Amino acid sequence: MKISAEIVPPNAEQLARAAALLVAGELVAFPTETVYGLGANALDDAAAAKIFAAKGRPSSNPLIVHLPSSSAIERVALLHDPRIRNRFERLAPLWPGPLSIVLPAAKAVSRLVTAGGETVAIRVPRHPVARELLERCRTPIAAPSANQSGYVSPTTAQHVFDSLGESLTMIIDGGPCSIGLESTVLSIIGARPRLYRRGAIGAADIERRLGEEIELAPIATGASTGRPQPSPGLLAEHYAPHTPIAFFKSELLRSLEPCDAAERIGLITIAPRPDLSARPDRVVRWLSASGNLDQAAAGLFAVIRELDQLGLKQILIERCEEIGIGEAIMDRLRRASARSSNKS
Ligand code: TXA
Ligand code: MG
């Protein structure tokens, strides 16, 4: 018999139920300030295995472990190396927040969560519902974004239902995520700290706090290189909708002749563009009335998901300035468009 997830409000009764399910080894989806997570007990192999099965996620891709506060860190990570501890202490003030820190993993963490490796990514989320849930669980919770592997991350409870509604019993509805892009992922283990994924916490802020330069992990070009992937979220083709997506060039738009409505395209701009009105052959969406990039980030995945359901021939999206969260927006858009273009 197929199950269908229940979307529940984040009240005390439902959070107690959710915590009990998680402790018992079941999956529960919950809101964070970045995207919705698909949670499971991080110390329980069987529970972690359910995450990989539900998402169709390769077992080589490790999961982020979520804690209610940094005081529980030594249950899941080893901090005895003085250089690692020093870096950790400099970054800890960014928690709770959208930063995942890769550290040497403690024995208790399921080796499914670490994908068999010796390191683990840890995050203390800021969202009040996530924090209350984590406090109630009293066990670390592994949670990837609650989408099918490779697809766009969910920023509402309905997005989770659309992707995984038949694979879990409970989705906690905390409203739309305020940031809307996945956390920054940073390893502080090696000779140099290494940025694996861009997010709302930018490289410059991290460098200032650490007092040292960080290196940017190169964008991997996919499994075809035959080399092992240090962090699968680095794959060039990731976070992609089913509809081909590409950056638009204004010249290209001017040359776009009206076409058959069955060949419709989608256009996504950062701010409203009076020159790009809707026509039967195109659907136009903008992300922020004032062109604000934080707002654009918060709504981006919802708009991509919406347009992806319209059977469009292509989605064209405007580039944004790579400042602040604009770095992370452009990072995700390059990956989303890699399958169709391999350019830019
Ligand atoms: O904002 C977020 O981080 C959300 C919310 C739910 O917290 N979670 C999330 O998880 O985006 P996921 O699994 O979709 O992305 C985790 C990323 C992947 O790119 C993974 O490869 C990388 O973090 N990662 C996890 N553990 C790692 C590790 N030990 N070393 C390097 N990269 C790691
Ligand atoms: Mg993900």
pLDDT for residue 338: 84
Report which ligand 1 atom has the smallest distance to the Cα of 147.
14
Ligand 1 binding residues, C-beta < 6 A: 32, 34-35, 37, 61-64, 100, 102, 114, 117, 119-121, 123, 125, 143-145, 182-183, 185, 196-197, 231-233
Ligand nearest to the CA of 76: 1
Alpha-carbon span 308 to 276, nearest angstrom: 20
Maximal C-alpha separation, the chain: 64
Report which ligand 1 atom has the smallest distance to the Cα of 199.
1
pLDDT for residue 228: 46
Report which ligand 1 atom has the smallest distance to the Cα of 229.
21
Alpha-carbon span 66 to 39, nearest angstrom: 9
| Ligand 2 centroid distance, CA of 144 (Å) | 5
HEC profile of the chain: CCCCCEEECCCHHHHHHHHHHHHCCCCEEECCCCCCEEEEECCCHHHHHHHHHHHCCCCCCCCEEECCCHHHHHHCECCCCHHHHHHHHHHHHHCCCCEEEEEEECCCCCCCCCCCCCEEEEECCCCHHHHHHHHHHCCCEECCECCCCCCCCCCCHHHHHHHHCCCCCEEECCCCCCCCCCCEEEECCCCCCEEEECCCCCHHHHHHHHCCCCEECCCECCHHHCCCCCCHHHECCCCCCCCCEEECCHHHHHCCCCCCHHHCEEEEECCCCCCCCCECCEEEEECCCCCCHHHHHHHHHHHHHHHHCCCCCEEEECCCCCCCCHHHHHHHHHHHHHCCCCCC
- Amino acid letter, 73: I
Q: Pocket of ligand 1, candidates 118, 179, 182: which has the most ligand atoms within 8 Å of its Cβ, to mutate?
A: 182
User: Which is nearest to 135 in space by CA: 24, 34, 19, 9?
Assistant: 19
| Ligand 1 centroid distance, CA of 320 (Å) | 24
Report which ligand 1 atom has the smallest distance to the Cα of 183.
1
Ligand nearest to the CA of 234: 1
- Beta carbons within 10 angstroms of residue 143's beta carbon: 28
pLDDT for residue 218: 73
| Ligand 1 centroid distance, CA of 250 (Å) | 35
| Ligand 1 centroid distance, CA of 161 (Å) | 21
pLDDT for residue 263: 84
pLDDT for residue 252: 66
pLDDT average per 10 residues of sequence, the chain (344 residues):
87 98 98 98 98 96 97 96 98 98 98 97 98 98 96 97 95 98 97 96 97 85 47 64 89 66 88 86 95 98 97 95 96 86 44
pLDDT for residue 280: 85
Ligand nearest to the CA of 181: 1
Strand partners, 197: 185
Ligand nearest to the CA of 177: 1
Q: Pocket of ligand 1, candidates 64, 102, 177, 195: which has the most ligand atoms within 8 Å of its Cβ, to mutate?
A: 64
pLDDT for residue 226: 43
Say if residues 337 and 247 touch (Cβ distance below 8 Å). yes
- Beta carbons within 10 angstroms of residue 90's beta carbon: 16
User: Which is nearest to 101 in space by CA: 117, 120, 82?
Assistant: 120
